[in-house]
Amino acid sequence: MLRLSSAIAAAVAVASAFLLYAVSYETRHMISTVQSQERQIERLRSDIAVLKAELAFLSRPERIEPVARSYGFVPASGIQYTDLHSVEPGPGAVDPGSRTEPGQRSSR
């Protein structure tokens, strides 16, 4: 009786030891995966910060302006703005009244 129960207890102990080992191994593996992914995230975040700074550095107006001017661009001036109503319709232009109608309908 005692021998049987001892044998069962021993078997359970061995089984639980194996089970625990398997679980702990798996956990350890997952932890190392998580850690490596966290490190990767940190590296990527750091890279993003550098790239963001580089993008801002490359698009700084001090650099863009001479480049733009070398292609013949100039700063926008007031002359380039005009009121829509002051534009004379060219030949074949659509009557502005008919063009506004669909918009009016949809807004209703």
Q: Which stretches of the chain bind another protein, using CB under 8 A?
A: 2, 6, 9, 13, 16-17, 20, 23-24, 27-28, 31, 39, 42, 45-46, 49-50, 52-57, 59-62, 65, 75-83, 86
Of residues 2 and 94, the one with the C-beta less far from another protein? 2
Nearer to another protein, 52 or 99 (CB): 52
User: Could you give the angle at the alpha carbon of 60 between the alpha carbons of 41 and 45, nearest 5°?
Assistant: 5
Comparison of 75 and 89: residue with beta carbon closer to another protein: 75
**Please, what is the minimum distance in Å from the beta carbon of residue 89 to another protein?**
17
